[in-house]
Amino acid sequence: MVVGAPLEDDHKGAIYVFFSQRNRILRKYKQRIAALDMASGLRYFGRSIHGSMDMDEDGLVDLAVGSLGAAVLLWSRSVVRIHANIRFEPSKINIFVKDCERGGKDVTCMSAVVCLNVTARTAIPPTQEVAITYNTTIGERRFNPRAIMDDPDKLLFQNLTLLSGEETCQHIYFYVMVSTD
């Protein structure tokens, strides 16, 4: 559902996009599009809304939003689902097997294999790339963590592009230390 708010932002206007779930409209809007984000000079943006045509023939309904003396055509974006899967190598942690050394201490080394896969929920061209930014951390909040990544700076934010149906996997190396709690 799209709601027009033409009096917002000193009569420049905005629209709000609400999603639905199980035949109910969610209370919190998912996206706010302000006239200030579109073009300068728009006034009363959102005073009329029409959304029943596919103007760019991509299989998605596009949205025409009226303002005083002008209209803006907003094209819908394709929808994709990103599936993340993680597995550990080896699959079980054995802290008694110290197979590497870090910081002068014998520790148990492991890796997590993180795989990302993209599937299109709406029609997209087969050559359309999907840009993904993600980060990986070990989330244990302890003064002395049991697991530490080998190269945490490298994994802060990763950028990649995938095609629909394509999968990519990344190895994240870390080590486990014996903790005396």
Amino acid letter, residue 42 = L
Least confident residue range of 16-20, 90-94, 149-153 = 149-153
- Domains delineated in the chain: 2-74 (no CATH), 80-176 (2.60.40.1460)
Q: What is the pLDDT of residue 134?
A: 85
Angstrom distance (rounded) from CA 143 to CA 31: 39
The predicted model gives 90-101 an average pLDDT of 86
Per residue in 27-79, pLDDT (tens digit) is 999 999 999 998 889 999 999 999 988 888 877 889 999 999 999 999 888 78
Per residue in 102-131, pLDDT (tens digit) is 888 888 999 999 999 999 888 787 888 889
Neighbours of 67 (CB within 10 A): 22
pTM of the model: 0.62
